[in-house]
Chains A and B, each alone.
Chain A
Amino acid sequence: MPKHIVRLIMSLGIVILLVIGSKALFTADSFGVYGHYRANAVPEIASDTPKYKGPDYCQLCHSERHATWSAHRHGKVKCEVCHGPAGEHPATGKLPIPSDTVKLCSTCHEAMPARPAAQPQIVVSQHSGTQACIACHNPHAPRIASSGGSDR
């Protein structure tokens, strides 16, 4: 074979080897196993630890509070909505008990256009002003018996 052809073939071979080598070097191991992405990214993302634990977790210790709460009208509003995520509680300390109840309760119950009619709503200034909501309402069983309604 002529010399220049041999050289051409050899340099072509080197280029091909370079391409294959650099692809192997620069592509993550699991890339392309399931598609055009790094497959190991999926178990990595799935391995994060959940912070919101759900009411069953709270019930393990706070069974009495859980029983009151779940039997009343706020039974759909889960513990962590007002108290924040349990995370590693109790190991990491207490969860907050909201102090500014007017601000907290009005987040859902302030009368506002766009809020569905089925949602119980109050005009804060006419209802109670700056008085704390918990002066009259138990947040775990919010309906007041004397107002005539049963709390369910």
Chain B
Amino acid sequence: MKNKTHKTASGRRVFLGKLGKVAVYAGALLGAARGLAKGESSAAGSFPTADYDWTKHRWGYGVDATRCIGCLRCVEACKIENGVSNDAHHFRTWVERYVYLKGEDKPRIDSHSDPQNIAAAGSQGEYRFDNRYKDAEVEKAFFVPKLCNHCEHPSCVQVCPVGATFKTKDGAVLIDHTYCIGCQYCVQACPYGARTFNYEQQVTDKCTWCYHRITKGLQPACVEVCPVNARIFGDLMDPGSAIRKFIRENRVQVLKPETGNAPTCFYIGIDKEVS
């Protein structure tokens, strides 16, 4: 009786041992197969396009708020280039106006989606700051262009339940609209409010740094149309690029560094209230 019990226990041990071995071999086999598949796809040529290899670039963006004149041509160009809905509340980039009036501690902040600014523009498809402060006693005022910060550690990517948003090897945070289920977790997770929800397509929308342009050697549309060079874009891997020069010659900062998101949009000329 005693012996029999012992035998059964040992049989179970042997069985478990064999099961373990099978699992290890199966795992190794699967891993090897995956590795092989990976090797094949990267050997097929440059990715994502025939003329563009994303491992050879690392994009970065600069904002010189001291230059911005608040003309909002960037907002308009972004909307047209990327087919973003034509109402004032869906946008991939925007410009904020900070106005400190004499005797007030906090700035008054508005952007193109403010009703008074829509009225000044004439419609939601046009973009303009009204001149509401022309007779006010202004202590200090400036414009700050904003967009997705294309973070090194993007919170939006971390919360996506389906892998619809991701960071590319060249530094852009993109959305796969065919995979997005429209749950909007990413909209809430982004500390910068850089994402909007497209109710017609039921997908989240965001700045791509005009990925279809930068992979063809062009500048993002907002950078292309900025008449005062307030927006700077370039390759962080290239020491001669505009963005490397911008970072080298200025003391740059990022928005909300305390979040640990590590943005790759760098700002100069902003104030303590800007976040």
Q: Name A's B-contacting residues (CB within 8 A).
A: 28, 31, 33-39, 41-52, 54, 76-78, 80-81, 84-85, 107-108, 110-116, 118-119
Partner of A112, one of B98, B134, B165: B134
Q: A38-B176, A81-B225, A119-B69 are in contact. List 14 more A-B contacts (CB 8 A).
A: A33-B38, A36-B163, A42-B211, A43-B48, A44-B178, A46-B49, A52-B81, A52-B221, A54-B224, A78-B227, A85-B80, A85-B81, A108-B227, A111-B134
- In the complex, the answer to whether A46 meets B215 with C-beta atoms within 8 Å is yes
CA distance A135 to B142 in the complex (A): 31
Closest to A80 in B: B225
CB pairs A–B below 8 angstroms (18 shown): A35-B166, A37-B166, A39-B47, A43-B48, A44-B176, A49-B212, A50-B221, A52-B81, A54-B218, A76-B227, A80-B77, A107-B71, A108-B69, A113-B136, A114-B98, A115-B69, A116-B66, A116-B69
- In the complex, the answer to whether A114 meets B48 with C-beta atoms within 8 Å is no
Q: Which of A43, A47, A107 has the most CB of B within 10 A?
A: A107
CA distance A50 to B164 in the complex (A): 23
Is B208 interfacial (CB 8 A cutoff)? yes
Is B25 interfacial (CB 8 A cutoff)? no
Closest to B82 in A: A48
CA distance A84 to B212 in the complex (A): 19
Which of chain B's residues 41-79 have a Cβ closer than 8 Å to chain A? 41, 47-49, 52, 54, 66-73, 77
CA distance A92 to B155 in the complex (A): 42
Which of chain B's residues 164-205 have a Cβ closer than 8 Å to chain A? 164-169, 174, 176, 178-179
Name the A residues within 8 Å of B38 (CB-CB).
33
- In the complex, the answer to whether A41 meets B174 with C-beta atoms within 8 Å is yes
Residues of B in contact (CB 8 Å), total 57
Closest to B40 in A: A33
Is B129 interfacial (CB 8 A cutoff)? yes
Number of A-B contacts (CB under 8 A): 134
CA distance A104 to B49 in the complex (A): 39
- In the complex, the answer to whether A50 meets B216 with C-beta atoms within 8 Å is yes
Name the A residues within 8 Å of B179 (CB-CB).
28, 37-38, 41
- In the complex, the answer to whether A113 meets B99 with C-beta atoms within 8 Å is yes
Q: Name B's A-contacting residues (CB within 8 A).
A: 37-38, 41, 47-49, 52, 54, 66-73, 77, 80-81, 97-99, 128-129, 131, 133-134, 136, 138, 141-143, 163-169, 174, 176, 178-179, 208, 210-213, 215-216, 218, 221, 224-225, 227-229
Name the B residues within 8 Å of A113 (CB-CB).
99, 133-134, 136, 138, 141
Name the B residues within 8 Å of A110 (CB-CB).
131
Name the B residues within 8 Å of A112 (CB-CB).
70, 129, 131, 133-134
Closest to A47 in B: B212
Closest to A112 in B: B131
CA distance A84 to B128 in the complex (A): 16
Task: Give 7 closest A-B pairs by Cβ, nearest first.
Answer: A48-B212, A41-B176, A114-B141, A37-B166, A42-B48, A43-B48, A77-B227
CA distance A107 to B130 in the complex (A): 10
CA distance A43 to B169 in the complex (A): 13
Name the B residues within 8 Å of A78 (CB-CB).
224-225, 227
Looking at the assembled complex, report how far the CB atom of B206 sits from the nearest CB atom of chain A, in whole angstroms.
12
Looking at the assembled complex, report how far the CB atom of A111 sits from the nearest CB atom of chain B, in whole angstroms.
7
CA distance A35 to B167 in the complex (A): 9
Name the B residues within 8 Å of A45 (CB-CB).
48, 174, 176, 208, 211-212
Name the A residues within 8 Å of B97 (CB-CB).
114
Name the B residues within 8 Å of A28 (CB-CB).
179
CA distance A50 to B209 in the complex (A): 12
CA distance A149 to B136 in the complex (A): 32
CA distance A119 to B66 in the complex (A): 11
- In the complex, the answer to whether B70 meets A115 with C-beta atoms within 8 Å is yes
